[in-house]
Amino acid sequence: MSQTLEATIDTKGRIILHENIELEKNRRALVTILDEDPKIEIFETALLSEKSLAQDWSTPEEDKAWQHLAELPSC
């Protein structure tokens, strides 16, 4: 059974799959290099937006809104 997976290839030729896979044994693979930039990853988006989100979230109003969670007993 053939399977197509999305991946990114970095400038050093390393292949980074966008999802985890498990195979019963080693398999051959074909790699097609597309002429387009990779989609920005979610974690990259989070890192890039961290500073602007911190401005919204680091306020006395937000601290008050979430205070009840700090009062919960730890597990």
How do the domains of the chain map onto residue ranges? Answer: 7-70
pLDDT for residue 55: 80
Q: Model's pTM, two decimal places? A: 0.45
Instruction: Determine the pLDDT at residue 41.
Output: 64
Dihedral angle, C-alpha 9, 14, 19, 25, nearest 10 °: 130
Q: What is the dihedral of CA 19, 47, 8, 36, to 10 degrees?
A: 130
What is residue 28's predicted lDDT score, i.e. its pLDDT?
Answer: 93
Q: What are the pLDDT tens digits along the chain (75 aa)? A: 788 998 988 889 999 888 889 999 999 999 898 898 877 666 667 777 777 777 878 888 888 888 888 777 766
For residue 8, the tally of other CB atoms under 10 A from its CB is 13
From 42, 37, 40, 33, select the one nearest 15 (Cα to Cα): 33
